[in-house]
Amino acid sequence: MTTAAQTKQALRREATARLATPDAETMALASAVIVEHLKVSPLLATAAGIATFAAWRQEPDLRALTAWATAAGRAVYYPRYDAAVGRYTLGRVGAYAELVAGQHGILEPTATAAQPSDDERRRLLWLVPGLAFDSAGRRLGRGAGDYDRLLADVTGPRVAVAFALQLLPALPAEAHDVPMQALATETGVLAATPTTVKTT
């Protein structure tokens, strides 16, 4: 019998192949459109700030969004790997240039970056990358489980940020997988439509 983990590995290969297809200019243009959709999203209008990500391996580039949010006085946080606890936390930055190479070579805040208070963390808009998503809000990550651990106690809106080609018809779900509540692509920001799926 094929397990959920085996199915995910096959889907990761498919998703990686899909992301290798568009050229850099196409992806840059799509990223710019995603940013414009997010700027006018009601989810952002009501958030205390943004928990976002530094684009890595063909992920949408949200630098224009974070610069706009910072200029408007909104708090912007990025994941930072905390070796002391063996997991990612958040660190606030005032500009993208403040990020440094961290775990896996991904840009992240420095160790001295401020973390959100518990109240602010609850009211952040979480922008989440992944290899693939489906319309129910299920997410396929790269397999390390870092984002699932980071999102495990998150109560604020969780928005998948991806290119439209990363949307697949259906993804398997395991008990530890944290679902997204909305999907942001170059076609717009849409609410996820959860379905009842068996987790393993």
Given a cut of 80, is residue 196 above it in pLDDT? no
pTM of the complete model beyond 0.85: yes
Task: Please state at what angle helix 63-71 crosses helix 24-39, rounded to 10 degrees.
Answer: 30
What pLDDT does residue 197 have? 46
User: By mean pLDDT, which of 20-24, 91-95, 171-175 is the weakest?
Assistant: 171-175
- Report the pLDDT averaged over residues 73-88: 93
Residue bearing the bigger pLDDT, 159 or 152: 159
**Residue ranges of the domains in the chain?**
4-191
Which residues have C-beta within 8 Å of that of residue 159, sequence separation ≥ 6? 38, 43, 125, 126, 127, 128, 180, 181, 182, 183, 184, 189
What CATH class has 4-191? alpha beta
What confidence tens digit (pLDDT) does each residue in 33-65 have?
999 999 999 999 889 899 999 998 889 999 999
